[in-house]
Amino acid sequence: MSWLFGYSSKPPQPPLENPPSDRGGDAAAAPAVNLSKSEKKAMEAYRFDSSALERAAQAARELESSSTKQQEQMAKIKEYEAAIEQSKVEQRRIDHEERRKTLQEETKQHQMRAQYQDQLSKKRYEEQLATENRATILESIKTAGSVVGAGLNALVTDWDKTLAAAGGLSLLALGVYTAKGATSVTARFIEARIGKPTLVNETSRFSILEAVKHPILTVSKAIATFRKPSDALSGVVLAPTLETRLRDIAIATKNTRLNKGFYRNLLMYGPPGTGKTLFSKKLAKHSGMEYAILTGGDVAPMGKDAVAAIHKVFDWAHTSRKGWFSWCNKKFAFLCYPNTTHMFFCIYNISSIGY
C-alpha cells in the first residue's frame, strides 16, 4: 500500500507536452527553466502523487457501495481478533506451564543442594571427630609412654623403689590368691552347714533351707529328737529269724556309737517294699545318729563328675556331731556292667572312694 500514498519510489511522470496556445499555432514555445540537482531533489520531496489518492478514494467508494464485502471484511477481522485472543490464552498457558516446570526444577535443585550440603557437613564432622580421636589416642600413648618410661627409669636408678615395688606386687598377688581361697573355703563351709549336696534325697539333719521350705516337718523332727529312742524294729513286720538278726545289728550299732568304736558296712538286698529303707531310718534314730539317703540312679548320669559329687557328700557328713548313717538305694544302677570303656573308668573311680 506504500505506493498508494506515494511514500516509496516516485510514480512515473507523464511526458511534458506543449500546451496549446490561445493564439493558435503561431506563438512560439516558452523556454525551459534550467534547475540544479539540489533544487530538483528539493522539488521532488514536496511533490505529491495525486493518482494514489484517487485510487484509494475509488477503493473506499467501492467498499461503501458493497455491503456484502463489508460484512466479509468484518467477519475476517473478528476471526483474526479471535485467533489473536486464542493465541494469547495459549501463550499464557504455555508461560504458566513453563513457570511451573521451572519452579519444580528449582525446588529439586534446592533439595539436592541441601542434601549434598548436609552430607558434606556430616562427613566433615565425622572427619573432625576421627581427627580428634586420633589426636587423643596419640596423646594418651605419649603420656602413658612418658609415665612408664619415667617410672622404669626411677626403678632402675633407685633400688629402694625397686624393692618397694616388688614387695607391693608380691603382697598384692598374695592378697588376691588368699581372698580367692578364703572365699572358696567359706562357700564350702556355708554350703556344708546350711544346704545339702545334690545327691542327698532325704536326710534327718537340720537345714535352714529345709526349715524354710517345710517348717511343720522340721518342728516335728525337732520334737521327736527329745523323746526317748524307741525300739529299732517298732512298726516293721519281719520274719522271726530276720528280726532277730536285725535287732542284734541295731544293738551293736548303738553300743558302737556309745563306745566310739568302728562301724561296719551293711548290705541289705531284696525286692522293693520289704522295709529296707524303713529299717535304715529306724536304725539311725535308735542309735542317735543322723541319716542320709542316696539313690544310685542319680550317680550314673553324672559320669566323671560323680566322684566330686560323692566327695561333697562325705565332706558334708564330716560336719555332723552325732555321727552319720549313709544309705544308698538301688546301687546296682551305677555298679552294673558298663557299656563303654569311659563308663567303666568312671565306675572304677566311684567304687575306689574310701573313707
* Three-state DSSP string of the chain: CHHHHCCCCCCCCCCCCCCCCCCCCCCCCCCCCCCCHHHHHHHHHCCCCHHHHHHHHHHHHHHHHCHHHHHHHHHHHHHHHHHHHHHHHHHHHHHHHHHHHHHHHHHHHHHHHHHHHHHHHHHHHHHHHHHHHHHHHHHHHHHHHHHHHHHHHHHHHCHHHHHHHHHHHHHHHHHHHHHHHHHHHHHHHHHHHHCCCCCEEEECCCCHHHHHHCHHHHHHHHHHHCCCCCCCCCCCCCCHHHHHHHHHHHHHHHHHHHHCCCCCCCCCCCCCCCCHHHHHHHHHHHHCCEEEEEEHHHCHHHHHHHHHHHHHHHHHHCCCCCCEEEEEECCHHHHCCCCCHHHHHHHHHHHCCCC
Average of per-residue pLDDT across 279-298? 80
**Would you say residue 286 has pLDDT above 60?**
yes
- pLDDT on residue 255: 86
As given in the structure block, the three cell numbers for residue 300 are: 550314673
pLDDT tens-digit map of 332-354 = 555 554 555 545 545 555 555 54
Could you say which of 2.60.200, 2.30.30, 3.40.50, 3.30.70 is the CATH number of the domain covering 199-351? 3.40.50
Confidence of residue 42 (pLDDT cuts 50, 70, 90): low
Q: From residue 268, how far is each of 7, 272, 275 by CA, in Å?
A: 153, 11, 10
pLDDT-wise least confident of 31-35, 76-80, 82-86, 137-141: 31-35
Cα gap 232→247, rounded to integer Å:
7
Cα gap 244→263, rounded to integer Å:
19
Q: From residue 58, how far is each of 55, 61, 64, 100, 215 by CA, in Å?
A: 5, 5, 10, 55, 141
Position 349, amino acid: N
- Distant-in-sequence, close-in-space partners of 263: CB < 8 Å, separation ≥ 6: 253, 256
Query: What is the reported pTM?
Result: 0.41
Map grid coordinates 580428634 to a residue: 132
Average of per-residue pLDDT across 161-190? 85
Average of per-residue pLDDT across 26-33? 44
**Would you say residue 137 has pLDDT above 90?**
yes
- pLDDT on residue 331: 61
As given in the structure block, the three cell numbers for residue 342 are: 569311659
pLDDT-wise least confident of 105-109, 165-169, 306-310, 332-336: 332-336
pLDDT tens-digit map of 290-331 = 888 887 777 767 777 777 787 788 877 777 777 776 767 666
- Cβ atoms of 292 and 325 closer than 8 Å: yes
Closest to 196 in 3D by CA, of 332, 319, 29, 75: 319
Confidence of residue 102 (pLDDT cuts 50, 70, 90): very high
Cα gap 325→317, rounded to integer Å:
9
Cα gap 325→284, rounded to integer Å:
6
Cα gap 182→186, rounded to integer Å:
6
Position 36, amino acid: S
**Domain boundaries in the chain?**
36-146, 158-191, 199-351
Axis-axis angle for helices 306-317, 341-351 (nearest 10): 10
Confidence of residue 65 (pLDDT cuts 50, 70, 90): low
